[in-house]
Amino acid sequence: MIAEIGHFALILALAVAAFQTVVPLIGAERGNRQMIAAAVPATLIQLVLVYVAFAALTHAYLISDFSVRNVFENSHSAKPLLYKISGVWGNHEGSMLLWVFILASFGGAVAVFGDNLPPTLKARVLAVQGSIGFAFLLFIVVASNPFARLNPVPIEGNGLNPVLQDPALAFHPPFLYAGYVGLSVAFSFAIAALIDGKVDAAWARWVRPWTLAAWMFLTIGISMGSWWAYYELGWGGWWFWDPVENASFMPWLVATALLHSAIVVEKRNALKVWTVLLSILAFSLSLLGTFLVRSGVLTSVHAFAVDPARGIFILGILCFFIGGALTLFAWRAPALKAGGFFSPISREGGLVLNNLFLCAACASVLIGTLYPLALETVTGEKISVGPPYFNLTFGPIMLPLLLLVPIGALLSWKRADLFAVLQRLWIAAALAIGLGVLLLVATQRGPWLAPFGMALGAWLIFGSLADLANRIALFRAPIGTSWSRLVGLPRSSLGMTAAHAGLGLMIIGIIAITLWKVEHIVAMKPGERADVGVYAVQFVAETPLTGENYTGRAGQFRIFRGESEIATVVSEKREFKPMGTPTTEVGLHQTLAGDVYVVMGDKTADGARVVRLYFNPLVSLIWLGALIMFFGGALSLTDRRYRVGAPKRKLTPAGVPAE
Amino acid sequence: MRWFLLCLLLLAVPAYAVQPDEILSDAKLEQRARDLSTGLRCLVCQNQSIDESDAPLAKDLRILIREHLTKGDSDAEIRDFVVARYGEFVLLKPRLTPHTAILWATPFLIILAGFIVILRRRKNSGVPAESALSAEEQKALRDLAS
């Protein structure tokens, strides 16, 4: 019964979404107040209906209702509660429902928090949101119903893929989707602005917080995925340039560009056409990501859909929204007035370069991901595009961008004095270069790229801090003055400093694990010791293991530094019910300086265990950096100008007072 | 990485990539073997190098590479040998051919195009009128600044 309520709510939501798309759009065109005012209740009703559907499916998972096909195929009664919940979106139908759930939430947020938006703009934004909701609800209702029943009712379910039974992986899809789908708000604002024919500082100020929120979710979602890969897959890799990863990375790159270009629109009323285009592209890449992952074009665990009809449906949605948006852009963009001239050496100029490099980097990821598909379709020739390609294209493109970050952040608007900026950065530059030289001398035999990368990361960190120190007159004024200045700084500027420094930390972590990783693969018997880097690892014993829905073997390992024992870790090999699918749990001893990473492998012929030992220096900085970038975003989101609200536009004659 | 999972599920052979008995005693040769392996695709796992893969086929290839290395073959010779056997698909770094020129060039052409657009825009817009201050304004500005 509850499943049927969910199904019915979805169909109602579809109808409401149609209303939400058509009525406010016509109302905004004709200046009809009632039709405009219909946008908000329609959005909220759609939200409630989608929530009901989502709750119904969650309920079916919680009570293990195997009469629902989706639950039968993806759940098992012995599964821990946590994975019963995450099972809701750990499959094709459920993940699409999560998609519209988040879309409806963002729509609702605009409806509720968008009080200061001009009513016509708000109506158009909500209408575009409604149209996206309509397309995906139609897809769910027609081709991907999560509430289909089974008769006769099976006694037990098939279980969730055991590699998905991990907290970080279970909860990274909601974050990723919140990022993907959050970009729909920027998209809707761009479409509304194109219909409206007006983009100004106020528009940018409304768009930016939504983009920032989406960017923050993407940042967390991507880093959770990579953190999971690092400790779960068991060979210490953290990023694989896998098409599914790329699908989430591309929107992140363009969203990052959009965040920066929206500042130019807001502060200087320039780059308007470009920013509108970026808003469209960012969400288009989200749609592309959804298509790549959900259509089965790339056959991986994430591509659950084997049915090509679904792929074609999503492709249709993709073509409609991207094609439609770009056509509208080509038609209406010339009407947007350009404004705000600036010299090439200025904050604006720096942000243009930022956008150029980020977009080129995104293009390298895009073409690297799609080229093998395209080439095979056109010529039948099969090639592979793997990590070496991305290292050779993405890497060199990011390099100048990273070098320019501290400089760009210090340039003044309109026209800047490059020499003065460099003067303010010389200490940071000297520290970074000093560190590089020191490392070069210390690691003569090591890869030369490593000291260079470390210096680059240090340059980003010191450069950001130098800017901050300058602003608060650190060491030049009494410490009390500096403190009150620090508190008085706009939070968006503190957020920028944090995000850029976080990026620097991340670079250091990436370079360290890539170039300084120590590996030791060895066959060990209980009691034996092996070295890895400055550490030694002793294989103590192995014991049988029984979990809630798996059995296996656990290996105990002692980690020594010199002669003193510093930690004990356990590496497990598990076999999951009901299929006996094997997984590995890594024994991980984490410190800021680096991780000792122990993986127990197979038995060899003479009864020893193959053990893979790694020392991954500074690797935590990758995720620490991502976390700091996230908090930088959060800090910026609480900036006074968003809390106080955007400056009111001049009231249009047809203006409706906000309620 | 998720390809790896698929691989894991399909094969259900719990083994991990390079095994101790495969490793060559000559550290330099072993390093070359590892570098070569990371550039070659595991054909059963799709998106994973043979260095990371636990598939039996990958293991065979790893051993084969090491045999060729100990015979004194160069990296290029070994790569050619593997390509002759399994096709271009096996290379994770596609070679520059007429068919892959677009792949390799596009990211850099975009940067080039971007710079050209930026430069042309500047030429067209000329000296912005709004930035030029009149003598009076200049004076007012100086007064303000002092």
Residue of A nearest to B52 (CA): A235
Question: What ipTM goes with this model?
Answer: 0.84
pTM: 0.90
| Pick among A294, A300, A581 to test the B interface (most B CBs inside 10 A) | A300
Taking the CA of residue A249 and the nearest CA in chain B, the distance in Å comes to: 14
Taking the CA of residue A107 and the nearest CA in chain B, the distance in Å comes to: 32
Q: What pLDDT score does B125 carry?
A: 56
Verify whether the Cβ–Cβ distance A386 to B111 is below 8 Å. no
Q: Are A142 and A215 in contact (CB under 8 A)?
A: no
> Three-class SS of residue A522?
strand
Nearest to A160 by CA among A488, A568, A504, A550: A550
Domains of chain B, by residue range, sit at 2-90, 101-145
Compute the average pLDDT of residues A335-364.
88
What type of residue sits at position B88?
E
Neighbouring-strand partners of residue A353: none
Query: Is residue A637 pLDDT above 80, yes or no?
Result: yes
Q: What pLDDT score does A215 carry?
A: 96
> Three-class SS of residue A302?
coil
Q: What pLDDT score does A478 carry?
A: 85
> Three-class SS of residue A29?
helix
C-alpha gyration radius of chain B: 28
The larger pLDDT score, comparing residue A236 to residue B78, is at B78
Q: What pLDDT score does A405 carry?
A: 95
Q: Return the residue matching tokens 């120190």.
A: A469
Query: Is residue A20 pLDDT above 70, yes or no?
Result: yes
Would you place residue A255 in the very low, low, confident or very high pLDDT band (cuts 50, 70, 90)?
Answer: very high
Kindly list the residues from chain B whose CB atom is less than 8 angstroms away from the CB atom of residue A352. 118
Cα–Cα distance measured from residue A144 to residue A21, given in angstroms and rounded to the nearest whole number: 22
Burial of A121 (0-12, 13-18, 19+ CB in 10 A): buried
Taking the CA of residue A615 and the nearest CA in chain B, the distance in Å comes to: 17
Nearest to A229 among B1, B48, B102 (CB): B1
Task: Please provide the DSSP assignment of B109-133 as one string.
Answer: HHHHHHHHHHHHHHHHH-S-GGGPP
Nearest to A180 by CA among A219, A126, A140: A219
User: Is B35 an 8 Å CB contact of chain A?
Assistant: no
Cα–Cα distance measured from residue B71 to residue A219, given in angstroms and rounded to the nearest whole number: 48
Cα–Cα distance measured from residue A359 to residue A401, given in angstroms and rounded to the nearest whole number: 11
**Least confident interval from A9-13, A398-402, B140-144:** B140-144
A378-to-A164, A293, A373, B47 alpha-carbon distances in Å = 35, 22, 9, 21
| Pick among B103, B106, B122 to test the A interface (most A CBs inside 10 A) | B103
Compute the average pLDDT of residues A266-291.
92
> pLDDT tens digits for A502-540?
999 999 999 999 999 898 989 999 999 999 988 999 999
Q: What pLDDT score does A451 carry?
A: 93
Q: What's the CA angle centered on A13, arms A12 and A19, to 5 degrees? A: 95
| Pick among B18, B34, B111, B131 to test the A interface (most A CBs inside 10 A) | B111
Verify whether the Cβ–Cβ distance A382 to B87 is below 8 Å. yes
> pLDDT tens digits for A575-596?
877 677 778 889 999 999 999 9
Would you place residue B146 in the very low, low, confident or very high pLDDT band (cuts 50, 70, 90)?
Answer: low
Alpha helices by DSSP H, A166-304: 167-170, 172-196, 201-232, 243-268, 272-295
Q: Which residues of A346-363 are buried (b: 16+ CB within 10 A; e: fewer)?
A: bbbbbbbbbbbbbbbbbb
Q: Return the residue matching tokens 């790339």.
A: A298
Query: Is residue A302 pLDDT above 80, yes or no?
Result: no
What type of residue sits at position B77?
E
Would you place residue A41 in the very low, low, confident or very high pLDDT band (cuts 50, 70, 90)?
Answer: very high
Query: Is residue B45 pLDDT above 60, yes or no?
Result: yes
Q: What pLDDT score does B123 carry?
A: 64
Q: What does residue B11 show for φ and ψ, rounded to 5 degrees? A: -90, -35
Nearest to A59 by CA among A6, A15, A110, A109: A6
SS (H, E, C) A406-447: HHHHHCCCCCCCHHHHHHHHHHHHHHHHHHHHHHHHHCCCCC
Kindly list the residues from chain B whose CB atom is less than 8 angstroms away from the CB atom of residue A356. 111, 114-115, 118
Would you place residue A298 in the very low, low, confident or very high pLDDT band (cuts 50, 70, 90)?
Answer: low
Q: What pLDDT score does A165 carry?
A: 77
Kindly list the residues from chain A whose CB atom is less than 8 angstroms away from the CB atom of residue B130. 341
Kindly list the residues from chain A whose CB atom is less than 8 angstroms away from the CB atom of residue B116. none
**DSSP secondary structure letter of residue A652:** P
> pLDDT tens digits for B89-132?
899 999 999 889 999 999 999 999 999 988 887 766 544 444 45
Task: Give Dmax over CA atoms of chain A in angstroms.
Answer: 87
Cα–Cα distance measured from residue A83 to residue B36, given in angstroms and rounded to the nearest whole number: 40
Query: Is residue A184 pLDDT above 90, yes or no?
Result: yes
CA dihedral A502, A504, A509, A512 (to 10 degrees): -170
A488-to-A212, A292, A472, A481, A500 alpha-carbon distances in Å = 22, 46, 9, 10, 20
> Looking at domain B2-90, does it have CATH number 1.10.8.640?
yes
In this structure, is the dihedral angle defined by the CA atoms of residues A385, A618, A229 and A85, taken in order, positive or negative?
negative
Verify whether the Cβ–Cβ distance B103 to A161 is below 8 Å. no
Kindly list the residues from chain B whose CB atom is less than 8 angstroms away from the CB atom of residue A383. 88-89, 91, 94, 99-100
Cα–Cα distance measured from residue A395 to residue A373, given in angstroms and rounded to the nearest whole number: 23
Compute the average pLDDT of residues B133-145.
69
Neighbouring-strand partners of residue A560: A536, A565
Query: Is residue A137 pLDDT above 70, yes or no?
Result: yes
Query: Is residue A202 pLDDT above 90, yes or no?
Result: no
Q: What pLDDT score does A299 carry?
A: 56
The percentage of residues in chain A with a pLDDT greater than 90, rounded to a whole number, is: 59
Contacts of A404 (CB under 8 A, 6+ apart): A350, A353, A354
Q: Are A60 and A85 in contact (CB under 8 A)?
A: no
User: Is B49 an 8 Å CB contact of chain A?
Assistant: yes
Query: What is the phi-psi region of residue A340: left when phi exceeds 0, alpha when psi lies from -120 to 50, beta otherwise?
Result: left
> Do the bridges between strand A594-603 and strand A609-617 make them parallel or antiparallel, or are there none, so unpaired?
antiparallel
Compute the average pLDDT of residues A267-274.
88
What stretch of H or E contains A561? strand A550-561
Q: What does residue A583 show for φ and ψ, rounded to 5 degrees? A: -135, 165
Query: Is residue A653 pLDDT above 70, yes or no?
Result: no
Q: What pLDDT score does A423 carry?
A: 87
- Six token digits for residue A583: 């997984």
The larger pLDDT score, comparing residue B30 to residue A18, is at A18
Kindly list the residues from chain A whose CB atom is less than 8 angstroms away from the CB atom of residue B108. 360, 393, 397
Cα–Cα distance measured from residue A285 to residue A437, given in angstroms and rounded to the nearest whole number: 41
Would you place residue A317 in the very low, low, confident or very high pLDDT band (cuts 50, 70, 90)?
Answer: very high
- Six token digits for residue A192: 């509304």
Cα–Cα distance measured from residue B41 to residue B53, given in angstroms and rounded to the nearest whole number: 9
Residue of B nearest to A344 (CA): B122
Neighbouring-strand partners of residue A551: A546, A575
Neighbouring-strand partners of residue A596: A589, A615
The percentage of residues in chain B with a pLDDT greater than 90, rounded to a whole number, is: 34
Q: What pLDDT score does B132 carry?
A: 53
Would you place residue B1 in the very low, low, confident or very high pLDDT band (cuts 50, 70, 90)?
Answer: very low
Cis-peptide, bond into residue A152, ω within 30° of zero: yes
Q: Are A227 and A623 in contact (CB under 8 A)?
A: yes
Cα–Cα distance measured from residue A569 to residue A494, given in angstroms and rounded to the nearest whole number: 39
Task: Please provide the DSSP assignment of B12-76 as one string.
Answer: -----SS-GGG--SSHHHHHHHHHHHHTBB-TTTSSSBTTT---HHHHHHHHHHHHHHHHT--HH
First to last CA, chain B: 63
Residue of B nearest to A293 (CA): B2
Q: What pLDDT score does B46 carry?
A: 62
Cis-peptide, bond into residue A578, ω within 30° of zero: yes
> pLDDT tens digits for B14-24?
345 778 778 88
User: Is B101 an 8 Å CB contact of chain A?
Assistant: no
Q: What pLDDT score does A261 carry?
A: 94
Q: What's the CA angle centered on A141, arms A140 and A145, to 5 degrees? A: 70
Query: Is residue B8 pLDDT above 90, yes or no?
Result: no
Task: Give Dmax over CA atoms of chain B in angstroms.
Answer: 85
Verify whether the Cβ–Cβ distance B9 to A301 is below 8 Å. yes
Task: Please provide the DSSP assignment of A566-633 as one string.
Answer: EEEEEEEEEEETTTTEEEEE-EEEE-SSEEEEEEEEEE-TTS-EEEEEEEEETTHHHHHHHHHHHHHH
Would you place residue A643 in the very low, low, confident or very high pLDDT band (cuts 50, 70, 90)?
Answer: low
Nearest to A233 among B1, B6, B94 (CB): B1
Cα–Cα distance measured from residue A171 to residue A217, given in angstroms and rounded to the nearest whole number: 12
Contacts of A47 (CB under 8 A, 6+ apart): A104, A105, A107, A108
Q: What does residue A473 show for φ and ψ, rounded to 5 degrees? A: 55, 45
